[in-house]
Structure 1
Amino acid sequence: MAAHLRSGDRATTLNLYARFLQAFEEKPLSPDLIASEEDHDVDELVIDLPAHSHSRSLQPPSILLAVVVAHAIGDSFHDALHAYLRFPAPIPPRIATEFLSTFSDRLLISKVEEYVRRLRIARIVSEPRFITARAAVFAATRDTQGLKKFYQSIIDGISGPQPYIAPCQASVTPQTPVALNEIHWATILTAFLQCNCRDLAETLWDDMVRFQVRPTVIMWTALLVGYERTGEAKDAEEAWRTMISMGIEPTTSTFRAIISVLFTARRPDDALQYFTMFQTRLTSGLPSAPEDTLTLCNTVLHGLLKNRLEKDAHALFQRLREEGPKPDVVSFNSLLNYHGRRGEFRAVSRILDWMREDGLVGDVYTFSTVLSALLKVGRTDATDAILSLMRKQDIKPNVAFFTSIINHQMEEGTEQGLRATMDLLQKMEENPEVQPNEVTYTGILTSLHRHDWRDLTLAQQCRQHVLEGMKRRGVQLNRAAYHVLIKACLDNLAQEGTEDALEYYRKMAQKRISIGADTWYILLRGLIAREAWTAADGVVEEISRSRAVYGGLADLVRRVRKRRGWKTKVEPRSYF
C-alpha cells in the first residue's frame, strides 16, 4: 500500500483495503493485534505496544493509516472518518510517525497528521467511556490546560472547518456521524468546575446555547454537582432558581446535589428546607428508586453529622429504620465515623448492635472505622478486637480484605494508623492463610511516601520492615507498582520525594523492568510539577538517547528543553 501511495496511486490502495476489510469481516483479527484504546486515548500516555506489533510490516493500524493517506490525497476527510470509525483499531502515534517517514511530500504529511489528530478526537467522542475517563483524569490531576485543549479540539470538530462532530444526537448527519451527547457536556462541565475554571464552564454553557443544545435536568444536575465539589452555595441556589424558572423538574440526584452543597457551606437549615421539599414531592409522586432515595437520605445524614447536629441525625436514622428506606452499610458507617472520631466507643458499640439487629454485615470501611475508634480510646488490643468482631459477624477476612483495611488506616496519615497497619501486617505475615502480597506491600509503601510523617524514624523503620518482608517472601514489585510508587514519591512535597522517585526509577533499570514512555511520562510530569529541573534535564537526556518520543511525553520533553534553552546539555550520569 505504501508503495502505491508514494506513487500517488490512491485507487489501488483503496481497492486493497476493500479486499482486506472483506477478509476481516469474514475472519476477525486476533485481539492481540488490536491496540488498546485506553492505552492511547485516555491516560495521555504513550503506552508501548506488544512486542509483535513493533514491526514495520503492515499491521492493522498501518493498513488503516494507509487508507487515511489515500483519502488525504483525494482531499476527502469525511471518507477517512467513516473508514476510521468502522475499523476496530486506533492509530498509535509511533506507527503514524514511522509510516509517514517514508513519504517526502511535506504538505501531504502535515495533512495526514491533522487528519489523524481529528480522527482520534472523533473516536473518543464516539465512545462515552473514553470522554468520561479522560475528563476524570484531567480533573483529578487539575490539568487545566490539558482539559481546555481537549475541549477546544471537540469544539473545533463541531464548528471548525469540515465539521465532523454533532453537538447532540438529533444533529447527527453523514458529515457529522458522531455526537457529543448530553452526558458528555455534563462530564466536561463538572471537570471544569472541579478545576475551578469558572470561565471555561461558562464558555461551555454558552457553547451549548450557541449550538442550540437545550440543557435538560442532566446538565443542571451536573452544574450543581460541580458547585457541590467547589463549595459555591450561592451559585448553586441561583442555578436552582434558574432551572425551576425554565420549567425543568429536579430529580432525586438534583435534590441531593443542592442539599450537599448547602450542608458543606454550613447552612444546614437551608439544606433541610430542600430535604423537606424533596419529601413533599416524593409524596406527590416524584419518581425515585428506593436506592436513589436512600442515597439522598445518606447525604442528609452525613450533612447533619458534619454540622454537629447529632440529635437530628439520630432521629433521621431511626426514622429510616422504622419507615424506610432501610439504612444500608453506608448509613451505619456515617454514624460510626462520627462517634469514632470523637472517641465515643459506647456509641460505636451501640451502632454495631443496631447493625447486627438489622441483619447487616460490616464492610472494610466499617472495620477500619471501628479500629480507628479503638485506637483513639487507647486500646492496645485494637487489632485483636477487630479480628474478634469479624469472627462474631462470621467474616473470614482474606488478603484483599486485610489489605483494604490497611489502606484505610494508612490514608489517615496518623502515627496511630501507621502502628495499627504494622500490627495487622505482622498478623498477616504470621497467618499462612492471609499472607500479604504485592498489593499489600505496595499500598503501605505508597502511603509511607505520600504522607509527611512527623516521626520520620518510625516511618523509615516501617519502610525497612516492609522491604525486608518482601525480600523474605520473594515478593517482587511489578512495573505498575513502580509507577504507583514513583508518583507517590513525587506527590510528597518534601525534598526526599524527588530522591525517592529517582531511586525507584533506578531500581527498575537494575532489575531489568521495562522502562517505557509511560514510565517517563509519570516521572517527568512529577519532576516538572516540583520544578526539579536538574533531575528533569537528566531524564530528558536519557530519553533522547533511548528512542523517539510521541504524544504527551513529547510535550513534556519540549517543556523541559524550552526552559533549559541555551544551557549546555546535561550529563545524565550526574543524576542517575
Structure 2
Amino acid sequence: MESQHEQLHLQVLASGLPALSRFRQSFRYLHRHAAAGLQARHFCLQHADGCIGERRKAEIWQVDDARKVFDEMKKKHCEPDEFTYTIMIRMVGKLGKGDECLGLFQEMVNRGCAPNMMFYNTMIQALARSKMVDKAIIVFSKMVQNNCRPNEFTYSVVLNLLVAEGQLGRFDEVVGMSKKYMTKSIYAYLVRTLSKLGHAGEAHRLFCNMWSFHDMGDRDAYTSMLESLCSAGRTAEAVDMLSNIHEKGITTDTIMYNTVLAALGKLKQIPHLHELYEKMKLDGPEPDIFSYNIMISSFGRAGKVHEAVTIFEHLENSDCKPDIISYNSLINCLGKNGDVDEAHMRFKEMQEKGFSPDVVTYSTLIECFGKTDRVEMACRLFDDMLAQGCYPNIVTYNILLDCLERCGRTAEAVDLYAKLKQQGLSPDWITYAVLERLQSGSHRRVRVRRQSPIAGWVVSPLR
C-alpha cells in the first residue's frame, strides 16, 4: 500500500503537470508509478485524461494518448465515471467519430454510470457533428426518459442539426417528446432562434403551440414572434396577434405597436396602418415620438402628403413634440412629392424652433431642389451646410454631383469631385456612375482613382 504522503504526491503532480500543458510528462509519470507497483488513483488518471483533451483536440495522435490513459484507468480498477466518459466523447466527437461515441455511450450505461445533462449535451453535440440525425434524436429521447431536463443548449444543437440537414419538420417530434420540460422561457428561446434562422412559419407554429398550452403568455416570446412576423412581411398575423394578446394576460406597449406600424408602413399597407393607429389611440398605449415619426415617414413613402401633415399636426398638439427626425420625415415627404417650397418652409421653421439641420435634412432638400432643376438653390444649400459646420457625406456629394451633371454644369461637377476627395471621402459606385456620364460632355481631364475588382486601385482619365 502506498503511504498517504505518496498518494498526495501522486495526486498533486498529476494535476499540476497538465496545468503546465505537460500532458506527455503526466502520461510517463503514471506509467513509471504503475511499474513501481503504485496504484494510480482515480483522481490522478482523470486529470491526465482531462489535460490531454484540452490540448490540440483535433489531432488524432492526442486522442490515441487519451485512449491509452482511459484503458490504463480500467486496468487499474479505477472505474471511469460520467465525467471521464464526457471527456472522451467530447474529444472523439470533435473528430467526427459518431459511431465510436455511441460505443462509449453504451459502455457507460453498461457500467452503471448515470448520464447527466452535461454528458447528454456532449453526446448530442458529437452526433450532430457527424450529422447523425436519427441517433441524436434517440439520445435526446433517452435524456427525457431518464428525467434529465434539456436546456437551451440541448435544443439549439438539435435545432441547428435539423435545419442543416433539411429535416426541420422533425422538430415537432423533439418538442412533443419533451413537452413536460417545455417552459415558457424555452418556447421564447426557440421562437427567437427559429426567427433568426429565417423560419418565421415554424416559429409562428411553435408560438401558437405555446399559446394554447400555457394559460399565461410570455412577453419575451410574444415580442420575438411579433418581430419575426413583421420581418417576414406577415403583417396580417402580426395585427391579429396584437389584437389577441390580452387573452394571455399581457399588456400591449408602444414597442409592440411601433413594430407592427413600421412593418405596415414599409409595405405601404395604408388602410391597415391608419386603422391600427386609430386603434392605438383608442384602446392601446399613447403613441410616442417613435409612433408619430413612423406614421409620418410611412405616409410620405406612400405619397400621402395630406395624411403625413395631419399626423405631424397631431404630434405638435400632443404631449410629445416634433424632433429633428419628425422634421426630416416631413421635409422628405413634402419635397419628394412635389411640394419643394413647403418643404423649404418647414426647413426654416425647424431652425426657428431651435433645431439644427443635420446631414439628412440638407441632403434631402438638396435632392428635392436638384430634381426640380433648381440648381442654384441646391448649391446655395450646400454652401450653407458647410458654413453651419455640417459636413456633407458621400450621399450628399452624389446628390449634388448628379444634379450638376444633369444640368450640364460639368466644370462645377469636376470641382465638386475634387472637393469630395479633399474632404477624405471615398467615392462609391454611384459617384463613379455620375462621373462616367460626365465623360461624354466634358473636355477637361480629371484623374479618378477607381477600384478594380481584379487589380485593386487603378488610375483612369475622365474625359
Return the TM-score normalized by structure 2: 0.60
Fraction of identical pairs, as percent: 14
Counterpart position of 1:9: 109
CA displacement, residues 150-205 of structure 1 (integer Å, 9 cap, x when unaligned): 42233335546xx7x98424xxxxxxxxx4152x244134235x3xx454334433
CA drift of 1:131 comes to 6.6
CA drift of 1:332 comes to 0.6
CA displacement, residues 90-110 of structure 1 (integer Å, 9 cap, x when unaligned): 75459989xxxxxxxxxx999
Q: Secondary structure at the match of 1:436?
A: strand
CA drift of 1:383 comes to 5.4
Change (3 A) 1:384 1:231: same
Q: Secondary structure at the match of 1:204?
A: helix
**Counterpart check, 1:82 vs 2:135:** no
CA drift of 1:367 comes to 0.9
**Counterpart check, 1:406 vs 2:421:** no
**Counterpart check, 1:180 vs 2:280:** no
Change (3 A) 1:68 1:123: farther
Counterpart position of 1:362: 392
Higher relative contact order (CA 8 A, sep 6+): 1
**Counterpart check, 1:395 vs 2:423:** yes
CA drift of 1:311 comes to 2.0
**Counterpart check, 1:73 vs 2:142:** yes
Counterpart position of 1:126: 189
Counterpart position of 2:45: none
For 1:406, the aligned partner's letter is W
CA drift of 1:237 comes to 2.4
CA distance in 1, matches of 2:288, 2:171: 51
CA drift of 1:13 comes to 6.7
1:259–1:271 Cα contact (<8 Å) kept: yes
1:69–1:112 Cα contact (<8 Å) kept: no
The match for 1:168 among 206, 215, 218 is 218
CA distance in 1, matches of 2:371, 2:384: 19
Counterpart position of 1:229: 266
Counterpart position of 2:283: 246
CA displacement, residues 279-322 of structure 1 (integer Å, 9 cap, x when unaligned): 232xx4x3x7xxx8211211111111123222221111112223
CA distance in 2, matches of 1:124, 1:422: 62
Change (3 A) 1:109 1:312: closer
CA distance in 1, matches of 2:439, 2:251: 52
Gaps of at least 5 residues in structure 1 are 22-55, 98-107, 136-145, 170-178, 411-415, 442-469, 476-576
CA displacement, residues 465-500 of structure 1 (integer Å, 9 cap, x when unaligned): xxxxx2x5599xxxxxxxxxxxxxxxxxxxxxxxxx
CA distance in 2, matches of 1:358, 1:59: 63
For 1:231, the aligned partner's letter is K
Counterpart position of 2:312: 275
CA distance in 1, matches of 2:377, 2:251: 50
**Counterpart check, 1:331 vs 2:361:** yes
CA drift of 1:76 comes to 4.9
Q: How many residues are paired up?
A: 347
CA distance in 2, matches of 1:365, 1:243: 36
CA drift of 1:376 comes to 0.8
Change (3 A) 1:205 1:249: closer
CA drift of 1:233 comes to 2.8
CA distance in 1, matches of 2:200, 2:143: 33
Change (3 A) 1:372 1:80: farther
For 1:241, the aligned partner's letter is E
1:259–1:274 Cα contact (<8 Å) kept: yes
**Counterpart check, 1:151 vs 2:166:** no
CA drift of 1:271 comes to 2.3
For 1:148, the aligned partner's letter is G
CA distance in 2, matches of 1:422, 1:313: 34
For 2:360, the aligned partner's letter is V
Counterpart position of 2:255: 218
For 1:81, the aligned partner's letter is P
CA drift of 1:369 comes to 0.7
CA drift of 1:407 comes to 4.3
CA distance in 2, matches of 1:77, 1:409: 66
Q: Secondary structure at the match of 1:270?
A: helix
Counterpart position of 2:383: 353
CA drift of 1:340 comes to 1.9
CA drift of 1:371 comes to 1.4
1:190–1:226 Cα contact (<8 Å) kept: yes
1:4–1:12 Cα contact (<8 Å) kept: no
1:14–1:70 Cα contact (<8 Å) kept: no
CA drift of 1:147 comes to 3.5
CA distance in 1, matches of 2:298, 2:171: 51
Counterpart position of 1:436: 451
CA distance in 2, matches of 1:87, 1:203: 29
1:258–1:271 Cα contact (<8 Å) kept: yes
1:305–1:338 Cα contact (<8 Å) kept: yes
For 1:9, the aligned partner's letter is V
Change (3 A) 1:70 1:267: closer
Q: Secondary structure at the match of 2:231?
A: helix
CA drift of 1:343 comes to 2.7
Counterpart position of 2:34: none
CA displacement, residues 119-168 of structure 1 (integer Å, 9 cap, x when unaligned): 9x988953998677556xxxxxxxxxx543442233335546xx7x9842
CA distance in 2, matches of 1:257, 1:151: 25
2:268–2:298 Cα contact (<8 Å) kept: yes
CA distance in 2, matches of 1:340, 1:78: 70
For 2:231, the aligned partner's letter is A
2:137–2:174 Cα contact (<8 Å) kept: yes
CA drift of 1:225 comes to 1.6
CA drift of 1:210 comes to 4.4
CA distance in 2, matches of 1:57, 1:205: 38
The match for 2:408 among 378, 382, 387 is 378
Change (3 A) 1:370 1:125: farther
Change (3 A) 1:191 1:57: closer
For 1:44-63, what aligned pairs fall within 5 Å after superposition?
A: 58=126
1:221–1:257 Cα contact (<8 Å) kept: yes
2:121–2:154 Cα contact (<8 Å) kept: no
CA distance in 2, matches of 1:134, 1:20: 21
2:190–2:203 Cα contact (<8 Å) kept: no
2:254–2:286 Cα contact (<8 Å) kept: yes
The match for 1:343 among 328, 353, 373 is 373
Q: Secondary structure at the match of 2:390?
A: coil
Larger radius of gyration: 2
**Counterpart check, 1:191 vs 2:231:** yes
